[in-house]
Structure 1
Amino acid sequence: MEHYLILKHLHITTAYASLAFFVLRALWSVRRVSLLQARWVKIVPHVIDTLLLTFGVTLAVILNFWPLPSWLSAKITALVIYILLGTVAIKRGKTPKIRASAAVAAVLVFAYIVGAAVERSPLSWLG
């Protein structure tokens, strides 16, 4: 428990870094910016998201979250939806309009995830 606050802040920081880089890549995707194909642009999100997941799992282990509380299960489910929407927003959407819509939906899901964590409720900000 001595490292809880450090891990929590690292988790939060990497979550916002992940969101910021996602939004940037989504904008590039909608605008068809060639920088989206750069090697570093394809690698950095995986590094950030691996750190994010590592910090999150470490926090869950430290806090002995087993069985998973309902808010954490909802957060993980929303994370899967966020990832799926993100793939549509950045590479699988056939038109800029589809990619932009998926990006907006992904950001809304991200907001839900933050709300579930802050409120510790599957109702997110309504909890």
Structure 2
Amino acid sequence: MYLALKHLHITCVVLSGLGFLLRGFWMLQESPRLQGRLPRVAPHVVDTLLLGSALALAFLSGQYPFVQGWLTAKVLALLAYIGCGSVALKRGRSKAVRGIFFVMALSCFAYIVSVALTRHPAGFFAGL
């Protein structure tokens, strides 16, 4: 059960990241594709599965945010990612602002993945 949840979680991470990247490029190009049904619905489905699998993995492994430092770092970075992504795709007043927040959101995403891979709050920077 744990391994299946882990694979589901990793698959959803990849789909979520690639979907955000694609929607960000469409936003920068001002593509009408961004307003299609699939780009508006799919991220909610994928991210719900992502969050659900994360909660199930935490429960099954007995590792919880605010107990484990690396999980706390992931949760806090996730909040930053959501905020930056929201400004990047919807709330930014200009293309320049949306572009800056798009890069910031991608940086948050990369940090979250690095923390997950290293299981250290500093992520890939832990070895420096």
- Work out the CA distance in 1 between the residues paired with 2:27 and 2:5: 32
After TM superposition, what 4+ stretches of structure 1 lie above 2 angstroms from structure 2?
A: none
Of 46-55 and 91-100, more deviation after overlay is shown by 91-100
Q: Which residue of 1 is the match for residue 115 of structure 2?
A: 116
Q: Which runs of 5+ in 1 are unaligned?
A: none
Q: Which residue of 1 is the match for residue 59 of structure 2?
A: 61
Taking structure 2 as the reference length, what is the TM-score of the superposition?
0.92
Secondary structure of the 1:44 match is: helix
- Work out the CA distance in 1 between the residues paired with 2:114 and 2:19: 20
- Work out the CA distance in 2 between the residues paired with 1:95 and 1:61: 42
> Does 1:71 pair with 2:66?
no
Please give the residue correspondences for 1:81-96 in structure 2 after superposition, counting only pairs within 5 Å.
81-96=80-95
Structure 1 position 39, deviation (Å): 2.3
Of 26-35 and 81-90, more deviation after overlay is shown by 26-35
- Work out the CA distance in 1 between the residues paired with 2:114 and 2:123: 4
Structure 1 position 79, deviation (Å): 0.2
Q: Which residue of 2 is the match for residue 7 of structure 1?
A: 5
Q: Which residue of 2 is the match for residue 19 of structure 1?
A: 17
Please give the residue correspondences for 1:94-105 in structure 2 after superposition, counting only pairs within 5 Å.
94-105=93-104
Taking structure 1 as the reference length, what is the TM-score of the superposition?
0.93
Structure 1 position 28, deviation (Å): 1.0
**RMSD over aligned Cα atoms:** 1.1
Q: What amino acid is the match of 1:16? A: V
**Does the 8 A contact of 1:31 with 1:96 survive in 2?**
no
**Does the 8 A contact of 1:30 with 1:100 survive in 2?**
yes
Q: What amino acid is the match of 2:82? A: I
Higher RCO structure (Cα 8 Å, ≥6 apart): 1
Q: Which runs of 5+ in 2 are unaligned?
A: none
Task: Give the fraction of aligned pairs with identical amino acids, expressed as a percent.
Answer: 42
Q: Which residue of 1 is the match for residue 40 of structure 2?
A: 42
